[in-house]
C-alpha cells in the first residue's frame, strides 16, 4: 500500500516573491478566509515561531488565529503583516478597476 501525506504548500513556497504574490492575490480577492489561509501558509513557510515572536503574539495563539476556524483580531493581523515585512496601502476601488482595464 502506498503511503501518502497531505500536500503542504508551506513546504514549497520558499521565495519571498512567491509569498508576496500569494498574500497580494488573497488581499485582492477580498475573501477573508483566503487571506487567513494565505497568511497561515506564508507564516509556516517562514517559521511560525519567528513570525509569532516578531508579531508579538504567542505561537499557539497565532496557530489558532490563522487556523480554519480561527478569527484573528486586527491587531494580530497587523502584527503578522509587520513580521512578514508586508506593508498595506489603500487605493480607491475605481483606481484599481481603471488599472485593470488599461492592461
Q: What is the pLDDT of residues 29-61, one digit of tens each?
A: 999 999 999 999 999 999 999 999 999 999 999
Residue 80 has pLDDT above 70, yes or no: yes
Query: Which domains are present in the chain?
Result: 16-101 (1.10.260.40)
The reported pLDDT for the residue numbered 101 is: 57
The reported pLDDT for the residue numbered 18 is: 95
In whole angstroms, what is the distance from residue 85 CA to residue 102 CA?
29
In whole angstroms, what is the distance from residue 65 CA to residue 74 CA?
11
In whole angstroms, what is the distance from residue 99 CA to residue 103 CA?
7
Q: Which residue has the higher pLDDT, 24 or 94?
A: 24
Q: Kindly indicate the confidence band of residue 98, based on its pLDDT and cuts at 50, 70 and 90.
A: low
In whole angstroms, what is the distance from residue 43 CA to residue 79 CA?
12
The reported pLDDT for the residue numbered 78 is: 96
In whole angstroms, what is the distance from residue 77 CA to residue 1 CA?
42
**With contact defined as beta carbons under 8 Å apart, do 76 and 65 qualify?**
yes
In whole angstroms, what is the distance from residue 31 CA to residue 97 CA?
17
Q: What is the pLDDT of residues 3-25, one digit of tens each?
A: 999 999 999 999 999 999 999 99
Amino acid at each position: 500500500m502506498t503511503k501518502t501525506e497531505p500536500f503542504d504548500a508551506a513546504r514549497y513556497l520558499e521565495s519571498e516573491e512567491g509569498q508576496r504574490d500569494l498574500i497580494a492575490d488573497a488581499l485582492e480577492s477580498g475573501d477573508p478566509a483566503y487571506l487567513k489561509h494565505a497568511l497561515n501558509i506564508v507564516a509556516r513557510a517562514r517559521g511560525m515561531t519567528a513570525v509569532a515572536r516578531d508579531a508579538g503574539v504567542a505561537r499557539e495563539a497565532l496557530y489558532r488565529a490563522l487556523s480554519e476556524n480561527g478569527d484573528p483580531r486586527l491587531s494580530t493581523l497587523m502584527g503578522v503583516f509587520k513580521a512578514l515585512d508586508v506593508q498595506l496601502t489603500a487605493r480607491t476601488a475605481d483606481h484599481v478597476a481603471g488599472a485593470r482595464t488599461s492592461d
